[in-house]
Structure 1
């Protein structure tokens, strides 16, 4: 597929939080990464408002294991500490395949739609380990990115068959990514086949809930937005 990148992301811990378990201050991870978490990782590798990243597939490379830790987060009502238990994934490792498309909801950035340059920068950024820090769900779970070929290597669930994870959070739809100008949350039912989860596109999700009304930020070249050519020179010190 055009505009596609492939990489492996791993770390010591991951916490892809189930929103239902956050009400009492304690957090419990999903068994697999959400679409939104992987999209955040890809955007930490490289992102511009001109493009929208679409997560195609994720391959679970290591066994799904959890570890519970006692934490002392700040209370909501004052500055004192509370006691809570967070459940993390241990030694997570995933191969990810994603591609970008131009954001048609941003006609103000049409001047920046240079497919080859965005793709080249994205591939270079993968080889560099990302442009920003990588986190596996939450900030305390540092992640690391390396370039790879999707499907290569041995995965724990290669011949495991099918696993259904039930309804879970898919991701957010932001005002500048939708014609409705609403901030929405999406739900879906993922299925893993021999370690690989193929994500449905955001617009295909059947269960969508509007969180609040929103408005897309406006960008203007030379004022609050840099052209891709200037971004490339800043990153690699040369013209392309």
Structure 2
């Protein structure tokens, strides 16, 4: 029995930020695999499973819109957090009135996607009663009922996403780019791999962004299972 799912996701606006841009936010042309995985995890996340995105179908025409948004100009330094955890009297507040900045953002508008994905069991986290069928039916029940742990979003939290489970017997809608044989979307963020290293006998958390060459064929972007640099 297969445990793949197809989820339709849409919204008025989306912002899948390109990491190579600096202060001004510019969106990728389409949803990234990590953003798609975040939507699936918003509906069902369990330590015993890991979501794998197989493909993303772009249903609507890719359109951009430029707006200005209020953002904070700084972040809380990790060093301050570590000192506060050690007992130091550190102020970890962020004061929006004094740190607010207006920045331009290039957004996607009127987005609509089909996410095809499956999940894999994580052997180290599987309990005695955990089975693939259990989690599959759990996801189906939650997706059909519109249930989620938190409201899924399209890149940024202010851009809420609506979702609908596509049943096996439902006819899939055609992509706006169904007649386009191939469109090269360039390098796109695949995911971020987190790890841990020892530095002077102390654990240091690391992260490594990984990218893949995204190519849309007839409106469908096939996502590689793994990216090696």
| TM-score, normalised with respect to structure 1 | 0.76
Give me the CA root mean square deviation. 2.1
Q: Which residue of the other structure, out of 82, 99, 122, is the alignment partner of 2:139? A: 122
In the alignment, which residue of structure 2 is the partner of 1:17?
17
In the alignment, which residue of structure 2 is the partner of 1:136?
154
1:173 is aligned to 2:173: no
In the alignment, which residue of structure 2 is the partner of 1:61?
59
Between the aligned partners of 2:10 and 2:182, the Cα distance in structure 1 is: 23
Dislocated runs of 4+, deviation >2 Å:
77-81, 108-113, 173-176, 181-184
In the alignment, which residue of structure 2 is the partner of 1:215?
none
Alignment coverage as a number of residue pairs: 197
Segments of structure 2 that go 5 or more residues without pairing to the other structure are: 76-94, 197-204
Instruction: State the structure with bigger RCO (CA 8 A, min sep 6), 1 or 2.
Output: 2
Please identify the structure whose Cα radius of gyration is greater. Answer: 2
| TM-score, normalised with respect to structure 2 | 0.79
Between the aligned partners of 1:127 and 1:51, the Cα distance in structure 2 is: 20
In the alignment, which residue of structure 1 is the partner of 2:221?
197
Between the aligned partners of 1:111 and 1:39, the Cα distance in structure 2 is: 26
Segments of structure 1 that go 5 or more residues without pairing to the other structure are: 208-240
Between the aligned partners of 1:7 and 1:80, the Cα distance in structure 2 is: 39
Instruction: State the Cα distance separating 1:112 from its structure 2 match.
Output: 4.8
Worse overlay, 150-159 or 79-88:
150-159
Larger proportion of strand: 2
Q: Which residue of the other structure, out of 98, 105, 111, is the alignment partner of 1:86? A: 105
Rate the CA distance shift 1:46–1:157 in 2: closer, same or farther, 3 A.
same
Between the aligned partners of 2:194 and 2:66, the Cα distance in structure 1 is: 33
Rate the CA distance shift 1:16–1:159 in 2: closer, same or farther, 3 A.
same
List aligned pairs for 1:1-240, cutoff 5 A. Answer: 2-21=2-21, 23-24=22-23, 26-76=24-74, 79-104=98-123, 107-131=124-148, 132-149=150-167, 152-175=172-195, 183-201=207-225, 204-207=226-229
8 Å CA contact 1:18–1:29 kept in 2: the answer is yes
Between the aligned partners of 2:38 and 2:14, the Cα distance in structure 1 is: 14
Between the aligned partners of 2:67 and 2:45, the Cα distance in structure 1 is: 33
